[in-house]
Amino acid sequence: MFAKSFFDLCVSEKCFDANNAGPTLRQFYEFGYRTVAINHEVVDDPDENENKKKKKKKQPREISNNQEIIPEPLKIEKQITNEFEGMTILKRLTVKYSSSDSFYKFLKSSNIKKYDILALLPTTMPALMFACSNIEADILTFDPEIRSPLRINRKIYNQLMNKGYYFEILYSPTIEDHTKRQNTIHVSHLYHTFGKSRNIIISSGATSPFYVRGPYDIINLGAIFGLNEQQSKDAVTHCASNLCKKAVGRCHGKSVMFVESTIDISDVSVIELNDSDTEEMEVDQPRQKKMKL
C-alpha cells in the first residue's frame, strides 16, 4: 500500500494550486518521496468560546446545517497523479484547538472522516491533557511561529506514545526564519529530553516548494534536532510508514493486518497418505509388553 521509500506527511495545500500541483509533485518525486500528505489546518475561534460562556441558558442556540466547519479535502486530478507511478497522496487534517469544547465542534463535522491522517495542535495544557485521555489521533504537532506554551514531561510523552501518537518536527520553518528555527529546536530538544526522541517523524510543513529539501539533507539535519543517524532515517521512512498504517487502522477499526506471501505455493510438494501406508506404520511399531498386576 505504502511504497518503501521516503515520506513527507505535512505539505501545505497552498503548494497544490491548480497550476502548481503537477510541478510540486514532480519535485517530490525527483527527490525520492513516494508518499506525500496534503495538509489542511483548521483553527478554533477563542472569541467564540468566550462568548459561549457569557450567553444565558435560555438563549436559543443557532445551528447551521449547511455550513461545514471542516471543508472537504483538496482533490488532485487523476490526469496529474497518473504521471507519477507508485506515488501515494494522502489527505491530512490538522486541528488547532484550545479546549475540549472547541475540538468536539470539529468532531461533529462529517468531512473529518474524509481525511486519512489526523494531527492535533493543542494550544493550552488542558487541551493537551484532553488529547492524552480522550482523543484518538495520529500526530502531535506544534506551531513554530510561537514558543510552545505546553509543559511536556516524561509521563505525558509516554502516555501519548502508548496511545499510538507520533511527534512531528517541521524543518521548513527553520529555513524561513530565525525565531521559527529557535522554537523548532526548543521543541525537538524537549522530545529528546523526555522521550529519547522515540516516535519522531520529520515533515516539511512547507508552504512553498522552495522550502522543500531532499530526504538525505533531512537525515543530516536530524543532528540539530537531537536525533542520531538511525533515528533521523526512521523519521522519514520507518516511523512515517508505521504512522500511515496506524492511521488506516484508526479509520477502519482497532487493528489492521497486511499479509504478504513469502513462498511460492507451486513449489510446495504435497504428500498423500494411503490406507496401506498407515497399516505398515502400525505393523512396524513395537508391541506393548504385558505387565502382571
Higher pLDDT, 167 or 266: 167
- 194 pLDDT band (50/70/90 cuts)? very high
Q: How confident is the model at residue 274 (pLDDT cuts 50, 70, 90)?
A: low
Tell me what the pLDDT averaged over the chain comes to: 85
Residues 95 and 121: beta-carbon distance below 8 Å? yes
Name the pairing type of β-strands 117-122 and 200-203: unpaired
How far is the C-alpha of 83 from the C-alpha of 275, rounded, in Å? 61
**Residue-wise pLDDT tens digits, 239-253:** 999 999 999 988 876
Residue 15: what pLDDT?
93
pLDDT at 272: 58
Reduced to 3 states (helix: H, G, I; strand: E, B; else coil), residue 198 is coil
What CATH number has the domain spanning 6-252? 3.20.20.140
Q: What integer pLDDT is reported at residue 154 of this predicted model?
A: 95
Domain ranges of the chain: 6-252
Main-chain phi, psi angles of 95, to 5 degrees = -105, 115
**Lowest mean pLDDT across 95-104, 155-164, 265-274:** 265-274
Q: What is the pLDDT of residue 65?
A: 47
Residues 46-66 have pLDDT tens digits of 655 444 444 444 444 344 444
Task: Give CA–CA dist 114/106, Å, rounded.
Answer: 13
Say yes or no to pLDDT of 287 above 80: no
What is the pTM for the complete model shown? 0.80
Round to whole Å and give the CA distance between 201 and 246: 14
**Other C-beta atoms within 10 Å of 213: how many?**
16
As given in the structure block, the three cell numbers for residue 211 are 522550502
- Beta bridge partner(s), residue 96: 43, 121
pLDDT score recorded for residue 53: 47
Residue 33 · residue 89 · CB < 8 Å: no
Residue 179: Cβ within 10 Å count: 13
Cell of 232: 533521523
Residue 21 near residue 80, CB atoms below 8 Å: yes
4-49 pLDDT, tens digit per residue, is 689 999 999 999 987 889 999 999 999 999 999 999 999 987 655 4
- In this prediction, residues 158-187 reach a mean pLDDT of 95
Half-sphere exposure of 235 (CA within 13 A, CB side): 31
Predicted local distance difference test score (pLDDT) of residue 22: 92
pLDDT digits (tens, 9 = 90+) for 81-140: 888 988 999 999 999 999 999 999 998 899 999 999 999 999 999 999 999 999 999 999
